[in-house]
Structure 1
Amino acid sequence: MHDSELLADRFEAHRGHLRAVAYRMLGSLSEADDAVQEAWLKLSRTDADEVRNLGGWLTTVVGRVCLDMLRSRASRREDPIEDTFVPDPVISPLTRIDPEQEVLLADSVGLALLVVLETLEPAERLAFVLHDMFAVPFDDIAAIVGRSPAATRQLASRARRRVQGAAPEPEPDLTRQKKVLDAFLAASRGGDFEALLSVLDPDVVLRADSGPLVGGAAASKLVRGAAAVARQALTFARFAASSRLVLINGEVGVVALLDGQPMSVMGVTVADGRIVAMNILADPERLARLDLGALAG
């Protein structure tokens, strides 16, 4: 086997981990793949024999690439509709999870958490993701963000406080999640406003990302409060009738179909027996790029 093939094999052994890091950093599956590919190009131009800890080196490279991508993204985001941005969901059947997706979903990174990560500054997100989710030492992270280890520790601490204050603690039992979501869908299909209120947390937040402006008007929306979200659910009752339950980022969610074609993907977060967050992706271009093999059969 040639040296290049050996190097490729060594890289492939780390690909799943690197993609998981990049996905948490970016909330985009396609951008995560781009970041991993950039790490491979960097490795192929490097004397790998000089790298003592390949996994750590690659994680650092991916972190630096993601940080640059986040900074570039932040410089472009000035439109208020970004409040409705929903990260790419990872979709699996309720009965099984694909091995490649299993790495992405390890330690559960729900859509609600990814939405909160979107509100962090790039350096905060990097410090939090690498340290809190992947146990990368602060000394290594400091070299990426160009700050002292102490300042980097503060970045992670600040991010941690924001995450803990904003990301709801989800119900871990899938059966209980499914029971709540089934009740929500049944109430939507039946047009039962009171039943909808009973399964929605009073402070529930619905975020619907429909993509770029359509005809000069924003189709995306942010809705807060049980009554407002219940009214919104009633307007989409026809989709509830043709929806299919799947796992979305390890939690029970819904893919809404129209004539057999996916119209939206909805991740929900259930806590204390009620829905506390609903994140809907309905951007046709992004839906077309998702792996919806979970719908087969």
Structure 2
Amino acid sequence: MDTALGFEPHRAWLRGLAYRMLGSQAEAEDAVQDAWLRWNGADVAAVQNPRAFLAQTVTRLCLDRLKSAQAQREHYVGPWLPEPMVETLAAGDDPALAAERAADVSVAFMLALERLSPLERAAFLLHDVFDCDFAEIAEALGRSPAACRQLATRAREQLRSERPRFRPRADEARRLLDAFEQAIASGDATRFKALLADDVRFVSDGGGRIAAARIVVEGLERVTKTWLGFAGKHPPPPGTGFERMRINGLPGLVVRGPDGVVIQTVAIETDARQHITAFYVVRNPEKLRGL
């Protein structure tokens, strides 16, 4: 068997698994590349189920990486957010496909995955998101199928309420982003508040490398004061560009400076009335390099 032919059909699938395990596209790419090297050095002719073999390999590589990642996050400055996954906000965006993407890469869901143990996260993702059976999962985790079933069940119970319930269509997302940009440009607190839910949350990740809120800010008044105050102290330079995109399946903006370098991403979560319930802002330059 040609090793590339056996590997390439699974590359995107493996990258998706690794991203959800690690919360970083760069780390996910590294894990998939390491899996390719191991696949290339294996006796692939003897592999009866390439996907299962590769899922096992990537999962184990991710579990190893999570040990060091968790140690680093204990010393992370301010809130931690996953590296943004950015897609075009296409006019003909399929609502069902958008809903599927938003369900398992939304920022809230990725943050919820962080609260699981590495083994719970792996068992849940492999079974509920990537449709592996428990026999395959047992091989990957070195546990019995019954133990893997219990891991997935515990994870599922913790994650039950974390998937976004409201996923605006592309046209609704554009209207929301229009109103948001206009409210920010006006600096009018009343206009800005009108877009927000009472229990709105503002989470910004600067990683201690750039100005950002060091805590999660909650509530209509506090979020308005924090957002408009920050915008007043750190206005975007002339020539800054705003691209409307889907960020982790949510409506959002990619903000580029005059030199084309990404300054930040803003992902927006909404409720049924199209009020903003959460802002997730990534400003850490290390997490924006891939953009």
| TM-score, structure 1 normalization | 0.83
Partner amino acid, structure 2, of 1:264 = Q
Query: CA distance change for structure 1 residues 158 and 195 in 2, over 3 Å: closer, same or farther?
Result: farther
- Determine the C-alpha separation between the residues in 1 that align with 2:67 and 2:287: 21
Q: Give aligned pairs, total.
A: 278
Matched, 1:88 2:89: no
Q: Which moved more, 1:151-160 or 1:272-281?
A: 151-160
- Determine the C-alpha separation between the residues in 1 that align with 2:134 and 2:227: 44
1:165 alignment partner, SS class: coil
Deviations 1:144-186 (A, max 9, x none): 3333322222221222222222343232422222222322222
- Determine the C-alpha separation between the residues in 2 that align with 1:72 and 1:213: 20
How is 1:24-173 mapped onto 2 (pairs within 5 angstroms)? 24-79=20-75, 81=77, 84-95=79-90, 107-108=101-102, 109-173=105-169
- Determine the C-alpha separation between the residues in 2 that align with 1:177 and 1:277: 14
1:206 alignment partner, SS class: strand
Q: Which moved more, 1:109-118 or 1:128-137?
A: 109-118
- Determine the C-alpha separation between the residues in 1 that align with 2:159 and 2:17: 17
1:169 alignment partner, SS class: coil
Does structure 2 retain, via aligned residues, the 8 Å contact 1:81–1:218?
no
Q: Which moved more, 1:178-187 or 1:56-65?
A: 178-187
Query: CA distance change for structure 1 residues 35 and 155 in 2, over 3 Å: closer, same or farther?
Result: same
Does structure 2 retain, via aligned residues, the 8 Å contact 1:263–1:284?
yes
The equivalent residue for 2:204 is: 208
What value does the CA root-mean-square deviation take over the aligned residues?
2.7
Matched, 1:223 2:217: yes
Match for residue 182 of structure 1 among 178, 185, 194: 178
Does structure 2 retain, via aligned residues, the 8 Å contact 1:168–1:276?
no
Does structure 2 retain, via aligned residues, the 8 Å contact 1:116–1:166?
yes
| TM-score, structure 2 normalization | 0.85
- Determine the C-alpha separation between the residues in 2 that align with 1:104 and 1:183: 22
Match for residue 19 of structure 1 among 9, 12, 15: 15
Shift of 1:32: 0.6
Query: CA distance change for structure 1 residues 144 and 61 in 2, over 3 Å: closer, same or farther?
Result: same
Match for residue 226 of structure 2 among 223, 232, 244: 232
2:165 alignment partner, SS class: coil
Partner amino acid, structure 2, of 1:234 = L
Does structure 2 retain, via aligned residues, the 8 Å contact 1:116–1:167?
no
- Determine the C-alpha separation between the residues in 1 that align with 2:203 and 2:70: 20
- Determine the C-alpha separation between the residues in 1 that align with 2:82 and 2:214: 14
1:95 alignment partner, SS class: coil
Does structure 2 retain, via aligned residues, the 8 Å contact 1:11–1:40?
yes
- Determine the C-alpha separation between the residues in 2 that align with 1:242 and 1:50: 52
Partner amino acid, structure 2, of 1:243 = F
Q: Which moved more, 1:273-282 or 1:145-154?
A: 145-154
Does structure 1 retain, via aligned residues, the 8 Å contact 2:101–2:249?
no
Q: Which moved more, 1:161-170 or 1:66-75?
A: 161-170
Partner amino acid, structure 1, of 2:4 = A
Deviations 1:85-123 (A, max 9, x none): 1111122332389xxxxx999643222322222222111
What residue ranges of structure 2 are gaps of 5+ in the alignment? none
Query: CA distance change for structure 1 residues 105 and 15 in 2, over 3 Å: closer, same or farther?
Result: farther
Does structure 2 retain, via aligned residues, the 8 Å contact 1:255–1:265?
yes
Deviations 1:214-248 (A, max 9, x none): 6xx97644211222111222131634985332222
The equivalent residue for 1:295 is: none
2:203 alignment partner, SS class: strand
* Matched-pair identity in %: 36
